[in-house]
Homo-oligomer: A and B are copies of this chain.
Amino acid sequence: MKPDISNGVLFENAAIVGVGLIGGSIGLAARRRGIVRRVIGVGRAEQRLMRAKILGAIDDYSLDMQAGVAEADLIILCPPVRLVIPMLEQIVESLKPGAIVTDAGSTKAEIVEQAEAIMPPGTFFVGGHPMAGSEQTGVNAARADLFEGATYVLTSGKRTDLAALSKLCEFAAALGSRVEILDAQQHDRAVAVISHLPHAIASALMQLTEDCHRRSGKAFQLAAGSFRDLTRIADSSPELWRDICLTNAGSICEAITGIQSILDELKVALDSEDEEAVESFFQKGKELREMYLRVTR
């Protein structure tokens, strides 16, 4: 496939380990934009890799993890979040000197800490989190434009190699993303608040509503469009969210405690019929929402 946008070749050989929605979309975008000379898909399911090749997400594939990554200058690990480190352990001995490894896991602190501890000298790990997705999964849902306008987080810490980080910045930007460089802990705290906690709340709200419905037989019938919108994300994969939560337990517990104590303030204001405090509670939310829309416009 001919590149339609050329940013120049950033990597000669890239290996994508785990060619699903994210891995497949990275392959499609990188090949389409001509920023990687050759993309190898690495995995265990030959059918899926053949499909990825037909779709144009990869040039070729390998079922052998070690052989698949041996030639690669860039290795992108895209398995479920808790398999990033086990996957890295399998390939770490096969990396060529100067190889840059990144991942696409939703949480970063655990992964970066463990990855940095096992990378051989002369090879580099930079944590990555392309914040794009879809209701669908698998390479059939992959799209070359999945990252356009999306935020792509790369982590930076004391042990991060700056040359590798710069190269990955260029790569992520060339995929069409808005790149944000964050400390891994800082990333995990932020996503706990803006993504993981909202998912937990959606599930909790369904549980509370069901309890109310069971007692009165009516709650669900009264739920209008806003309830439906709010709880849409309760319909996510329990396994996926189990893994995300378990790899970010500290920050999520902190976020839960945080929102519990903000809600406590409202309870106190209501208990004491403090009109001003109740109004100010909603006033703050409204102002912050307006500020947020300005910041992210």
**A residues adjacent to B (C-beta < 8 A):** 131, 150-151, 153, 178, 180, 182, 186-187, 189-191, 193-195, 197-213, 215-216, 218-224, 226-227, 229-239, 241-242, 245-246, 249, 252-253, 255-260, 262-264, 266-267, 270-271, 273, 275, 278-286, 288-292, 295-296
Q: Report the minimal beta-carbon distance from A261 to chain B, rounded to whole angstroms.
A: 9
* A284 CA / B206 CA spacing, docked (Å): 8
15 contacts between A and B (CB under 8 A): A150-B224, A186-B218, A189-B216, A189-B219, A190-B212, A191-B222, A193-B208, A198-B226, A203-B281, A204-B262, A206-B285, A210-B292, A238-B283, A246-B275, A253-B267
Closest 3 CB pairs of A and B: A203-B285, A238-B282, A242-B279
- Distance, CA A232 to CA B290, complexed state (A): 10
Q: Please name the residue on chain B nearest to A248 by beta carbon.
A: B270
- A191 — nearest CB in chain B belongs to which residue? B222
Q: How far is the CA of A225 from the CA of B254 in the complex (A)?
A: 23
A226-B195, A285-B234 are contacts. A259–B220 as well, Cβ < 8 Å? no
